[in-house]
Structure 1
C-alpha cells in the first residue's frame, strides 16, 4: 500500500467516506471483526473483492475487503487478520491501527488460516472450505485447489497472499478454462514486502 507525506495523506482522508466504528469482536487471537456504520454506505453497490482503503498512520494506507455490507442500513463489517498475533516483532501499521480502534471511532474510508483458527473461521464462513496453513504461505490452499473435485466455475475471486494469488490464478485459468477477465484478484500482503 502507498505511503504519502502526511499533508497529502490527510487531504485524501478528508475526501473519503466517513464511518463510525459500531462494534468490535475478537473471534480468535488472529481474527477481529469490526462493524462500521455510515450514511455514505447507503445505496452503494458492492461486489466480491471490492476493497476499502483506510489511513492507518499519518502517512500509510491499507486496503481491506468487507465481509458483509448492508447498503440499506449503511452497515459494513470487515474481518481483519492480525499478522502480529502470529509473527514475532512489532505490529504492522495495519495491526497497530486496528488495535487502536474503539467503538465510536470515526474512520474514512477456499481460505487458508493458522491451524488454531480453523474452527472459528469455519463457523464464520459456513459453506467455505477452510484449510490449515502450512509453514509456506499458500501451500495448503494450492494443494486443496489441485485436489478439488472438478466442477463448473464461472468466476474466480482470489484475495490474500500475493505470491499465492499468482499461482492460484494460473491453476484456475488452466483447470476451469477461465478467461483472465473473469478472475478477480486482490493481494493484501507479499512475502518480503511491507504492505502492498
Structure 2
C-alpha cells in the first residue's frame, strides 16, 4: 500500500497491530553522500526472512515504501537496509533524516522474490536500488559455497557504489533511451566468446531488480538466449512516472 489516506493508515496500524514490529535505529553510516546504511534493532524472533524478501515502512502520514534488507537476523533482532537517497520522494527524505535512537515500525518480511538455495549459480542484475539485495544474496551464496555474477547498472557519479557495498560486480552505465543495453552486451559477449562459461551460467537463477524498463529489456534478452522463464525472478523497485513500487 504505497499511498493511503492518513485515517486509513492509522486504522490499519491499530487493527493489525500484530503485523507491525517496533524497532529502533542503532547505527547509521553514509557509504557515500547519497548512500546510507541503517541498522534497526528490535524483537524480530517471530519473523521468518528469506534473502530477497522486502520489508515495509510508513515513511509519512500517507506514504509507505518497500525496501530489501541487506542483512536480517531474526534471532538477534537485527535488520540492515541500504538506502539510495535520490531525493525524489518521501522514502528518500525519510531515510535521510533517520538518526540513532529513532523508533519506527516494520511490516514484513515478505514478497515473491526469494533466494533459490537449489541453484549453484546466481546472476544478479539491477541498479542503485538493488545494492541491499545484492549484498544479502552475496552473503548467502558464499555461505553455501555457490557462485554469483553481478551486473550493476549505475549512474556515472555512482560507479563506485558496488565496491562500497562490498560487491564484486561488472558496473555498466545507464541509458534512458536504451535500457540495459550495456548489460545485454556483456551477456552477448559471454555467449559468443566464453561458451563453456555460458553453458554453466545459462542454468543459473537470474535475479532482475531495479528499473522496470531495464528488467524487461534484460529479461527479453535472456529468454532470446535460451534461458527458461522459470529461472528468471523479477522485482521492479521503480518505474518512470510511478511512485511507491
**TM-score category by the smaller chain?**
0.7 to 0.9
Q: 18, 26, 29: which one pairs with 2:30? A: 26
1:158 maps onto 2:223 in alignment: no
Would you say the 8 A contact 2:85–2:93 is kept in 1?
Answer: no
Deviation of the 1:33 alpha carbon: 0.9
CA distance in 1, matches of 2:176, 2:214: 13
Matches within 5 A, 1:134-173: 134=175, 136=177, 138-148=180-190, 149=194, 150=198, 151-152=200-201, 153-173=203-223
1:187 maps onto 2:184 in alignment: no
Would you say the 8 A contact 2:36–2:96 is kept in 1?
Answer: no
Deviation of the 1:157 alpha carbon: 1.4
Q: CA RMSD in A?
A: 2.3
Task: Tell me which residue corresponds to 2:72.
Answer: 69
Structure 2 unpaired stretches of 5+: 107-150
Deviation of the 1:13 alpha carbon: 4.1
Q: 95, 98, 116: which one pairs with 1:98? A: 95
Would you say the 8 A contact 1:60–1:93 is kept in 2?
Answer: yes
* Matched residue SS, 2:162: helix
Task: Tell me which residue corresponds to 2:146.
Answer: none
Task: Tell me which residue corresponds to 1:2.
Answer: 2
Deviation of the 1:54 alpha carbon: 0.9
Task: Tell me which residue corresponds to 1:88.
Answer: none
Task: Tell me which residue corresponds to 1:82.
Answer: 85
Task: Tell me which residue corresponds to 1:177.
Answer: 227
**Shift >4 Å, 4+ stretches:** 134-137
Structure 1 unpaired stretches of 5+: 85-90
Range 130-139 or range 155-164, more displaced = 130-139
* Matched residue SS, 1:25: strand
CA distance in 2, matches of 1:13, 1:168: 38
Deviation of the 1:43 alpha carbon: 5.9
Range 68-77 or range 168-177, more displaced = 168-177
Size of the aligned set, in residue pairs, is 188
Q: Residues 66-90 of structure 1, C-alpha deviation per residue, up to 9 Å, x if partnerless?
A: 1111233121111111222xxxxxx
